[in-house]
Amino acid sequence: MKQLIQKITEKPLWVNMLAGLGIILILIILFFSLLGWITGYGNTTKVPSVTGQEITAATQILEQAGFEVVIQDSV
């Protein structure tokens, strides 16, 4: 560990700052380039229409389509 610290501190400060800035820049570019893949941007799924149907029938249709049904009531 001492050797690593000594190796880093023997270089001029501007070299270490430039290396740190380069690493940060690479991480930012990597993050934004992978952001679409991480969030699934552009992936769509069509939601079946369940308007006017009973809750049990609507739940069954939505679950068959691969959705998780959560019923919330404001009362």
Query: Both 1 and 33 in a single domain?
Result: yes
Query: Both 37 and 63 in a single domain?
Result: no
- Supply the pLDDT for residue 61: 96
In whole angstroms, how far apart are CA 3 and each of 6, 10, 14, 16?
Answer: 5, 10, 20, 16
Local structure of 7: helix, strand or coil? helix
Per-residue pLDDT of 10-61, as tens digits, reads 888 899 999 999 999 999 999 999 999 999 888 888 999 999 999 999 999 9
**Containing domain of residue 52, as a range?**
45-75
Query: Both 9 and 24 in a single domain?
Result: yes
- Record the tokens describing residue 41, joined without a space: 């941007």
The model carries a pTM of 0.55
Query: Both 39 and 52 in a single domain?
Result: no
Number of domains the chain is built from = 2
